[in-house]
Amino acid sequence: MSTALSPTALAQQFTSLFGAAPDGIWAAPGRVNLIGEHTDYNEGFVLPFAIDRTANVAVRLRGDNTARLVSSYGNQGVVEVDLDTLSRDSMSGWTAYPLGVVWVLRQQGVAVGGFDLFLDSTVPTGAGLSSSAAIECAVATAFNELLDAQLSPGALVLVGQRAENEVVGAPTGILDQSASLLSTDGHAVFLDCRSQASQLVPLALAAAGLIVLVVDTKVTHAHATGGYAARRASCELGAEVLGVAALRDVDAEDLAEAAGLLDEETFRRVRHIVTEDMRVLETVSVLEASGPSAIGDLLTASHASMRDDFEISCPELDLAVDTALSNGALGARMTGGGFGGSAIALIPASAEATVRTAVLDAFAAAGFTTPDIFAVSPAAGARRIV
């Protein structure tokens, strides 16, 4: 899934498979989260940016109630579904993402009828770069436009999140879909996850001679099970004991008192969220005042908090971060939900080869799977491309 079909090739394959040209092609990007991890479902702050890798969907409305879906990856062939029988539990595999969005739209009164859909994506799956949100946002944007549903970008974010929560079964927040839908070239999205208010913050990496390098550790994670849900439960417990609606409402000055009220582990989970919210706010002010070369320490502090307090890192992510830092990175951290996936390193462009080689060598020496290493830049959000 690394080589994108050109829009022309995607349209051609669509046409030869389904017998008619698509009505259009929509693209939505994956994301990197610069900082603000697990703060979204605590109604706090995040600062992601869309990356220059997208899920592209070619769609044609059919006029009946049949959905036919195919993707350029995997060998599953065409999946055909009668939309009248579509239920939350009937979806599985990759089609749960597009069909999940269709199910939510229909629940919300948007009359999605039959369609043909061809998906192609260059967002790596299982890498913590929101390949699933990219599919959801491309599909939601396509139907919003094709059916003139007039849903705002913020409403589309919630459609994608509902598909993830209620169909896929992952209790995730609004970070990924917001990044995919609200991003603009050259900017990060500063999002208040309580109000959904967002602001674009310039992230002029190239002008500062910097790049963001992604290290995909190849350690796969699944947020529908395990650690992610457990962390969310700890945060909800913390908020309940502290008597607040969400951990967003706990300030740094409240932490000393919180330590006496919470068990040791829950306290550390809470401390990560409280300090991470502060780091996001500080990153935004530092970016605005001094540009990206000044935010490295905040990124690295965020990683330490996730490793030690929130405990969502893993040896591969820690090795990627430490190796990048000792080879010239200004800052580095794991990004996304954790328990695997990717780390990001903010490095001078001139250090790219050094960091790349050092990380590959360190992984080989540790006996870890060879990681994928590539640069990303802040890219545009979901849009129609044909």
Residues making contact with ligand GLA (CB under 6 A): 33, 37-38, 40-41, 172-173, 175-176, 223, 336-337
Of 90 and 225, the one with the shorter C-beta distance to ligand GLA is: 225
Q: 110, 353 in Cβ contact below 8 A?
A: no
**CB 178, min distance to ligand GLA, A:** 9
Which residue in 193, 58, 180 sits closest to 131, CA to CA?
180
Q: 164, 55 in Cβ contact below 8 A?
A: no
**CB 128, min distance to ligand GLA, A:** 7
**CB 313, min distance to ligand GLA, A:** 12
Of 176 and 309, the one with the shorter C-beta distance to ligand GLA is: 176
Of 32 and 329, the one with the shorter C-beta distance to ligand GLA is: 32
User: Which of 176, 216, 277, 309 is an active site residue?
Assistant: 176
**CB 40, min distance to ligand GLA, A:** 5
Of 54 and 342, the one with the shorter C-beta distance to ligand GLA is: 342
Phi then psi for residue 111, to 5 deg, are: -80, 75
Distance CA 176, CA 49 (A): 9
The full DSSP string for 298-315 is HHHHHHHHIIIII----H
Please report the sign of the dihedral spanned by the C-alpha atoms of residue 95, residue 100, residue 105, residue 106. Answer: positive
Distance CA 287, CA 293 (A): 8
Is 116 an active-site residue? no
Q: The sheet that has 372-376: what strands, in order across it? A: 331-335, 342-348, 210-216, 372-376
Q: Which residues are catalytic?
A: 176
